[in-house]
Chains A and B, each alone.
Chain A
Amino acid sequence: MVSYIIRRTIMAIPLLFGITILSFAIIQAAPGDPTSLMMDPSMKPSDKEAFRERYGLDEPIHIQYITWLGNMAQGDFGDSIIKRGTPVSELIMNRLPNTLLLMLVSTILAILIAIPFGIYSAMRPYTKLDYTVTVTSFLGVATPNFWLGLMLIMFLSVTLGWFPTGGVATLNADFSLWDRIHHLILPAFVLAVADMAALTRYTRSSMMDVLKQDYIRTAMSKGFKEKKVVLKHGLRNGMIPIITIFGLMLPSFIGGAAITERVFAWPGIGLLFIESAFQRDYPVIMALTVISAVFVVIGNLLADILYAVFDPRIEY
C-alpha cells in the first residue's frame, strides 16, 4: 500500500511539469510582447531594452521558463501587469478563501442531496420516485448553470427581493454570519446543481450493482432490516466508485465555480481569472491556470489513495 502511494505520487510529478509547460507555451504563443501593455508607447528604445531586461524578456525562452518555474516553486508568481506592482500571490490569496468557501458548501450540499436520493432510487428502481429522480438529474445536467443563476436572481432577488443579487456580504456593513449565509445560498445551490445531478446518477448505478451482490441477499435472508443492510453493507461498497467520480468531476467543478462567481459577482479566484483574461493580465492567468490544475492533480491523487484505502480487496 505504501509503495503504491509513493508510486502514484511520483507519477504526478511529470504531470505537473506538463501542466506548467503547456500553460507557459500558450501564453508564449500570444502575439506581441506580454509587457507591451505595461509600456508607454512613447518610451525610448533604450528604455524599452532596459525594461525587457528587468523582466528577463531578453533571455532565451527555456531560461525564461525555468526562471518562472523556479519562482513559482517558491510561491512567487510575479507581479500583476494591470494592478501595478501587486504580487499575483497577494491577489490570489485575497480571493481564495471566498472560492474555497463556495466550493466547500456546494460540495456538501451536493452530497447531502444526491446520495440519499441515489440510494433510494437504487432501492426502489422503476418506481415513480425513481423516475422523478432520474428525470430531475437529466434536467440538472442539461441546465446551463449561469442561466439557472440568472433565473434565480431574477425571481428570488430582483422580483421578490428575498436574496441579495450578488457579492459575499452587504457592502459597508458589520460582519454578520446570517448576512454571509444569505449571500452564499444561491451561488452555492447553483454550483451544486450539475454535480448533484451527476452524483445522483452515479450513486444510483453504483448502489444498484452492489445491491445485486450475494452478500446483500444473504444479509437480507438472515432477516436484517432492509435499511440496515443497505446502509451498513451496501453503502460502504457502493461509495467506493464515487470517490473516483469526485476526482473526475473536479475540473468541471472548478470551471463551474468560475462561471457561478461571475453570475453572482462572487469575488473568488474564478472571477479574478475572468477579469484578468479580459485585461490580458498574463501573470495572473498563468498562475491561476497552474494552481487550478495542481489542485485537480492533487484531488485525483487523493481520490486514488482513498480508493486504495477504502477498498482492501484491491492489491497493489
Chain B
Amino acid sequence: MSQVNPEISQKELELNPNLMEKPDTLTKIFIRKFMKNKLAVVGAIFLLAIVLISILAPIISPHPYDQQNLLAKLQPPSADYWLGTDRYGRDIFTRLIYGGRVSLLVAFGSVLGAIVIGITVGALAGYFGGIVDAVLMRFVDVIISIPSIFLLITIVTIFGSSLQNLIIVFALTSWTGTARLVRGEFLSLRSREFVLASKTVGTKSYKIIFTHILPNAMGPIIVAATLLVGGVILSEAALSYLGLGIQPPTASWGNMLQDAQNYTVMLTAPWYPFFPGFLILLTVLSVNFIGDGLRDALDPKTLE
C-alpha cells in the first residue's frame, strides 16, 4: 500500500507488516461481513431483481395488464403466456410484475413512514423518560394489544383502500415495534459518558437526539425495518386477498389470489393460485434473509 501511516514506527512495522495497510473503513467491514452470508446475498440479488422488474413493468411486460380475452381464459403456461392466463384471459406474468409494484410500494412506503413515527416516539420516550415515556408507551401498548389485521380491516373499510390510504394505514399500524426498540436503545445510551458530556456543554436536546444518540442506535433500527418490510408484504397480501386492498383491474399479489380462489380454477388451472403466493413467499424470504445478514453485519460484536 502506498499510504503509510506516519505514526507507526519502523520497529512495529517489522513485527507486523500488515500495519502498513490503511485500516478498513466501517463500510468495507460491513460489506465483507454481509457478503459472507450467502443466503443474505442471494436474497439481496433476488429482491433487487424484483424491484427492477417492477419498476420496468410497462416496458418488459408482454401484454397489457388489464386486457381481457375471454377466448383465452385459464390457458396453461405457453410461449405466448409465460405463466398462463387468469379467469378473464389476462396474462398472469404481466399481472404478477404489475402486482409487485403495488406490494413493494406499499411495503417500502409504509415502512419508511413507520420508521419515522417509531423513531420520533421512541426517541422522545427514551430521552425524556418520566411522564412523556409513560404516556407514549401506554399508547404503544394499546395499539399492540389490538390485532393489527382487525385495525387494518376496520380503517380500510371506513376510509377506502387507495394506494395512499394503504401506505398510511400500514404506517400507522406498524410503527410500534420500532418505537419500543428505539426507546430501549435511548434508555441505555442516554446515560453514557458521551451524551452526558454533550449535555454538560449545553448542547440542545434535539441535537443530542439526532446527532449523538440516533446514529448509535441505527443498526438495530435498520434490521427491524427490513424485517418489517416482509411483515407488511404479508399483511398487504392478506388484506388484498380478503378483497380490501387495491381493487381490480389493478393487479396485486393478494387480489390475484382472491380471484384464483375458485373451485373451477383450482381444478383446471392450479398454476394460477400457485404463482402469486409463491412470489410472495420468495420475496418475503429474501427480505428476511437480508434482515438476518444485516443483523450480523451491523453488529460490532460479531467476529469477521
Q: How distant is the Cα of A15 from the Cα of B144 in the complex, in angstroms? A: 11
Query: Interface with A: B3-11, B76-84, B199-207, B276-284, which one?
Result: B276-284
Which 7 A/B pairs are nearest by Cβ-Cβ distance?
A147-B277, A255-B149, A18-B142, A142-B284, A255-B147, A142-B285, A154-B266
- 8 additional A-B pairs beyond A158-B267, A278-B157, beta carbons within 8 Å, are A31-B158, A139-B285, A147-B276, A154-B270, A158-B266, A255-B148, A262-B242, A285-B154
- 1/0 per residue A244-260: CB within 8 Å of B? 00000001101110110
Interface residues of B (CB under 8 A from A): 138-139, 141-151, 153-155, 157-158, 230, 234, 237-238, 241-244, 257, 260-261, 263, 266-267, 270, 273-274, 276-278, 280-281, 284-285, 288-289
B278 to chain A, nearest CB (A): 8
Q: Are B289 and A138 in contact (CB under 8 A)?
A: yes
Q: Is A199 an interface residue (CB 8 A)?
A: no
Which of under 10, 10 to 19, 20 to 34, or 35 or more describes the interface residues of A? 35 or more
From A148, A153, A158, A258, contact of B147 by CB (8 A): A258
Residues in chain B near residue A38, CB distance under 8 A: none
Binding site secondary structure of chain B: helix
- 1/0 per residue A1-37: CB within 8 Å of B? 0000000000000110011001100110111000000
Interface residues of A (CB under 8 A from B): 14-15, 18-19, 22-23, 26-27, 29-31, 138-139, 141-148, 150-151, 153-155, 158-159, 165, 251-252, 254-256, 258-259, 262-263, 273-274, 277-278, 280, 285, 288-289, 292-293, 296-297, 300
Residues in chain B near residue A146, CB distance under 8 A: 237-238, 241, 257
Q: Are B154 and A277 in contact (CB under 8 A)?
A: yes
Number of A-B contacts (CB under 8 A): 135
The verdict on A274 contacting B153 (CB below 8 Å), with A141-B288, A150-B257, A151-B274 known, is yes
For this complex, 28 residue pairs linking A to B, each with C-beta atoms less than 8 Å apart, are: A14-B138, A18-B139, A19-B146, A26-B155, A26-B158, A139-B281, A141-B284, A141-B288, A142-B284, A144-B237, A144-B284, A146-B237, A147-B273, A147-B277, A147-B281, A150-B261, A153-B266, A154-B266, A154-B270, A154-B273, A252-B147, A254-B147, A254-B150, A255-B147, A258-B147, A274-B242, A292-B150, A296-B145
Q: How distant is the Cα of A142 from the Cα of B284 in the complex, in angstroms? A: 5
B170 to chain A, nearest CB (A): 14
Residue of A nearest to B283 (CB): A142
Residue of A nearest to B134 (CB): A14
Q: Are B146 and A289 in contact (CB under 8 A)?
A: yes
The verdict on A159 contacting B267 (CB below 8 Å), with A144-B280, A147-B257 known, is yes
B138 to chain A, nearest CB (A): 6
The verdict on A259 contacting B238 (CB below 8 Å), with A15-B138, A138-B285, A138-B288 known, is yes
Residues in chain A near residue B150, CB distance under 8 A: 254-255, 258, 273, 288-289, 292
Q: Are B238 and A297 in contact (CB under 8 A)?
A: no
Residues in chain B near residue A262, CB distance under 8 A: 242
Q: How distant is the Cα of A277 from the Cα of B155 in the complex, in angstroms? A: 10
